[in-house]
Amino acid sequence: MAKGRESKPHIGIFGRRNNGKSSLINALSGQDIAIVSGIPGTTTDPVKKSIEIFGIGPSIIVDTAGMDDSGELGLKRVGRSLAALKTVDLAILVITGNLFGKEEEKIISVFQKQEVPYIIIHNKSDQQPLDPALKNSLEKKYGVEVIQFCALSPTNQEVVVDAIKRAMPETAYVSDSMLGDILGRDEVVVLVTPIDNEAPEGRLILPQVQAIRDIIDNDAVAVVLKETELEKLITVLRPRPVLVVTDSQMFKKVDKLVPADIPLTGFSVMLARHKGDFEQYLKGTPKIDELSDGDRVLLLESCTHQVACDDIGRFKIPAWIREHTGKNPEFDIVAGLSDLPRPVSDYSLIIQCGGCMITRRQLMGRIRPAIEAGVPVTNYGMAIAWLHGIYDRAIEPFTGSRKTSRTQ
């Protein structure tokens, strides 16, 4: 399938202070993009940097603080480094001087617990070569590659890059098609793209761009228009559309304009199946009707943007929920990948955005604790479809049948 363009694979660099993690980044990228110093603790917080890896493409390197940092502030830095694991697709553990002790065992145990693939690089091998016995012991014990390297005078970058490519999950840089399994060659998909005050000046929003590219990649035809033009086109367009995809805020209007025999869904619903836990969303969405006064609802908005007075997550969804349920829940909003303001178990429902700006691993890392805690989860588009009474129609293109028994 085509390489995912919306979310680059993330590679985290971990290890003790002064092990040359930043020098490794510079060696891999071929340029000085990370600050290098002989003073331990130069890198204090996780820092993201873009690089290009042949065979994988554009990637994000996450440079972290030393795992052996100490003191109150140092322990906070270590905590942030460990938190960065939730966002990475592959970890590189950097060791030097043939030193492999409790710090390394601890971080590897975290890799394993969070199911993060990893490799081990023995850096500064010009000062002290990698002990073959240590290499054999680690490879036998952990089943991963251990590579000798010198970041300041690299001669075998290709060996490191090849190891990264072998260890990197293909799902991190090869994206399944969003619509390919329901589209045929030359079939027409209509994309309804409102241009309002939340639309970026002169551009389409990312899910719309992703949908267009996915349709083209599947040798189908994308027809893009505003909702104001839909009524004039939908009855005369030939060949007849096999699917209409709309911005979720236009669900009610578009539902009335699109004939019942033409499948209809939303961009966010499409992303829910593509990136989220669609089965959990299907279970969680009806829980909206069980909300009571004072229940807490968490809206996870995995990007940051300027807030408008009619912002979908901060204002519209809470208002629609209150109107639909007749109840008055409390709402928390978290943007980006920030920490939650309270334990996840405090919430009665979590509503995740489509996640167009983050990787699937990052999105799943956000909602997995809720699923494990038994907290219902849904996504923006599916929640909006439920609240507007067209949920069954919105999920039907991806379920094949109208699963719920909800009375319209």
Predicted local distance difference test score (pLDDT) of residue 44 = 45
Q: Which long-range contacts (CB under 8 A, 24 or more apart) does 312-315 make?
A: 312/198, 312/248, 312/249, 312/380, 313/351, 313/353, 313/380
Please provide the average confidence, as pLDDT, over all residues in the chain: 85
Rg of the chain on CA atoms, in Å: 24
Among 3.40.50.300, 3.40.309.10, 3.90.380.10, 1.10.490.130, name the CATH number for the domain at 10-172: 3.40.50.300
pLDDT at 117 over 70: yes
Specify which residues 192 forms β-bridges with.
225, 246
pLDDT category of residue 200 using cuts at 50, 70 and 90 = low
Is it true that 10-172 and 286-399 share their CATH fold?
yes
Residue 340 dihedral angles phi and psi, to the nearest 5°: -75, 150
For 92-113, write each residue's pLDDT tens digit.
999 999 999 999 999 999 999 8
| DSSP 8-state secondary structure symbol assigned to residue 168 | S
Segment among 222-226, 319-323, 365-369, 382-386 with least mean pLDDT: 365-369
Query: What is the reported pTM?
Result: 0.67
| Positive/negative CA dihedral, 155, 159, 165, 167 | negative
Q: Which CATH architecture has domain 286-399?
A: 3-Layer(aba) Sandwich (3.40)
Q: What top-level class would CATH report for the domain 180-270?
A: alpha beta
For 301-356, write each residue's pLDDT tens digit.
976 544 444 578 788 999 999 999 999 999 999 987 778 999 999 999 999 998 88
List strand residue ranges (DSSP E) for 151-205, in order.
188-192
Residue that wins the pLDDT comparison between 88 and 215: 215
For 156-175, write each residue's pLDDT tens digit.
888 988 899 888 876 665 56
- What are the sequence ranges of the domains in the chain? 10-172, 180-270, 286-399
